[in-house]
């Protein structure tokens, strides 16, 4: 089983089709784009991070939001610039409609997602003084005015606009008028570009749609952390190889 998981991780890593960096002063956030991964096969919930089933990461998919009380969880806090949000389509809120960020193959997302409309923003902050060194999201139906920003102590660490995201995206959602989708991952390359806040804004008309927010709390450079079971599996494989080599050496010494 662990060998199958290792192969899966390798295949997903190889699926990355674009990787660029934001460099500004001492900061150099790494931006990686992929079509994303499925959390559960044949379930249309949009694209996920390849780390979605890794216990070292936290994913918020918005699927269980049924009222206006959503504020995040024990690790992250969501704040809406207008103080509240809608649960019906057409304005900043959490709901489901045809503009939900598409799945890996452009398939229609049948789950709820977060939408930010004209002049609004959503701030996502780490609680209890924590910092992030990784954040990923499924962004869909990309359009003018979509703005993505990472901050530390209220100071911008890195920022991207619609054009920068759209230029590297390739997945086109079904029935989305050629608007692009995909999973964007933002990773720290060192302590100087860790961030404690993520801000999604819509500047001008249109909306910024996103889903399946994935976080990794940690300081310093982001390094992929395998699941504990996979780590144990890797150690087991290594132990087998060492045993076989030692056994061979003993036989050769006879």
Per-position DSSP letters for the chain, written without gaps between them? -HHHHHHHHHHHHHT--EEEEEEETTEEEEEEEE--B-SSTT--S--B-TTTT-TTSEEE--TT--SS---B-SSEEEEETTS--BSSTTSSEEE--TTSPP-TTSPPP-S-EEEEETT-EEEEEESTT--EEEEEEEEES--TTEEEEEEETTEEEEEEEHHHHHHH--EE-TTSTT-EEEEEEEE-SSGGG-BSEEEEEE-SSSEEEEEEEEEEE-SSS------HHHHHHHHHHHHHHHHHHHHHHHHHH-
pTM across the whole model: 0.81
Domain hosting 34: range is 16-223
Q: Which pLDDT does position 122 carry in this prediction?
A: 98
Task: Using pLDDT thresholds of 50, 70 and 90, give the confidence band for residue 10.
Answer: very low
CATH code: domain of residue 163: 2.60.120
In a domain, residue 91? The reply is yes
In a domain, residue 6? The reply is no
Residue 236, both tokens: 């087991």
pLDDT at 108 over 70: yes
Per residue in 75-106, pLDDT tens? Answer: 999 999 999 999 999 899 999 999 999 999 99
In a domain, residue 242? The reply is no
In a domain, residue 145? The reply is yes
Task: Using pLDDT thresholds of 50, 70 and 90, give the confidence band for residue 20.
Answer: low
The predicted model gives 175-184 an average pLDDT of 94
In a domain, residue 3? The reply is no
Classify residue 4 by burial, with Cβ atoms within 10 Å: 0-12, 13-18, 19+.
exposed
In a domain, residue 5? The reply is no
Share of the chain above pLDDT 90, in %: 73
The predicted model gives 126-135 an average pLDDT of 97
Residue 120, both tokens: 């609004």
In a domain, residue 21? The reply is yes
Q: How many domains does the chain have?
A: 1
Task: Using pLDDT thresholds of 50, 70 and 90, give the confidence band for residue 224.
Answer: confident
pLDDT at 214 over 80: yes
Q: Which pLDDT does position 149 carry in this prediction?
A: 97
Of 1-10, 175-184, 212-221, the poorest mean pLDDT is in 1-10
In a domain, residue 236? The reply is no
Q: Which pLDDT does position 246 carry in this prediction?
A: 56
């Amino acid at each position: 089983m662990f060998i199958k998981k290792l192969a899966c991780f390798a295949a997903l890593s190889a699926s990355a089709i674009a990787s660029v960096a934001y460099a500004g002063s001492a900061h150099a956030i790494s931006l990686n784009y992929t079509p994303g991964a499925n959390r559960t096969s044949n379930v249309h919930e949009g694209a996920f991070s390849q780390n979605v089933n890794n216990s070292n990461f936290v994913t918020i998919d918005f699927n269980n939001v049924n009222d206006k009380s959503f504020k995040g969880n024990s690790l992250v806090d969501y704040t809406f610039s207008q103080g509240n949000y809608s649960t019906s389509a057409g304005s900043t809120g959490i709901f489901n409609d045809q503009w939900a960020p598409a799945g890996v193959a452009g398939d229609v997302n049948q789950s709820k997602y977060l939408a930010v409309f004209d002049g609004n923003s959503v701030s996502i902050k780490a609680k209890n003084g924590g910092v992030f060194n990784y954040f990923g999201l499924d962004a869909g139906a990309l359009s003018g005015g979509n703005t993505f920003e990472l901050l530390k102590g209220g100071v911008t660490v890195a920022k991207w606009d619609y054009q920068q995201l759209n230029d590297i995206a390739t997945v086109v959602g079904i029935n989305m008028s050629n608007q692009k989708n995909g999973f964007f991952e933002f990773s720290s390359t060192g302590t100087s570009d860790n961030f404690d806040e993520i801000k999604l804004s819509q500047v001008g008309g249109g909306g910024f749609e996103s889903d399946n927010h994935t976080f990794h709390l940690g300081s310093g450079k982001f390094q992929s952390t395998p699941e504990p079971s996979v780590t144990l599996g890797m150690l087991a494989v290594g132990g087998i190889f060492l045993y076989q080599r030692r056994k061979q050496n003993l036989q050769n010494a006879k």
